[in-house]
Amino acid sequence: MSQATRSVNFTGSVDRDLLKRAKIVAAQNDTSVNALFNIQLRYLVETFESADARQNSNYATLLAFSLGRLDYPDAMTALNLDSEEDLFLLMAQARLPMPRLPQAETNRMKKALHELIVD
């Protein structure tokens, strides 16, 4: 069965700036955003499944941290880590991004910092 017949369309959303940057990466590599998406999604799913089959919860913990569902202290505890550097290295090895604060929280923090400077 060919790849085209196994494919299915779906609808999702992505940050506008991220899509713009993905298009640049795709063009520089003579491929499509779809191909980039598929290879990254395949890596994530296969890595998760492999860790799950070995009953190793570390990847699930890192994924939860990356998604913002697990905070920094809880991730450090669950992974038995003593340093932030170790957490950053594990995230890089797992090819997962560090979590980002919601934009509203970032804006609130910026406003609070600005008020400290102005006062």
d(CA 52, CA 54): 5
**Euclidean distance between CA atoms 8 and 35, whole angstroms:** 13
- Residue 91, Cβ neighbours under 10 Å: how many? 18
| pTM assigned to the model | 0.71
Q: Which of 10-19, 28-37, 95-104 has the lowest mean pLDDT?
A: 95-104
* Structure confidence at residue 4 (pLDDT): 57
Which DSSP string corresponds to 61-113? HHHHHHTTSS-HHHHHHHTT---HHHHHHHHHHTT-PPP---HHHHHHHHHHH
pLDDT for res 104: 79
Centroid of chain to Cα 93: 12
- The Cα 22–Cα 11 span in angstroms is 17
Per residue in 41-81, pLDDT tens?
999 999 999 999 999 999 999 999 999 888 889 999 999 99
Least confident of 28-37, 59-68, 106-115: 106-115
- 102 or 92, greater pLDDT: 92
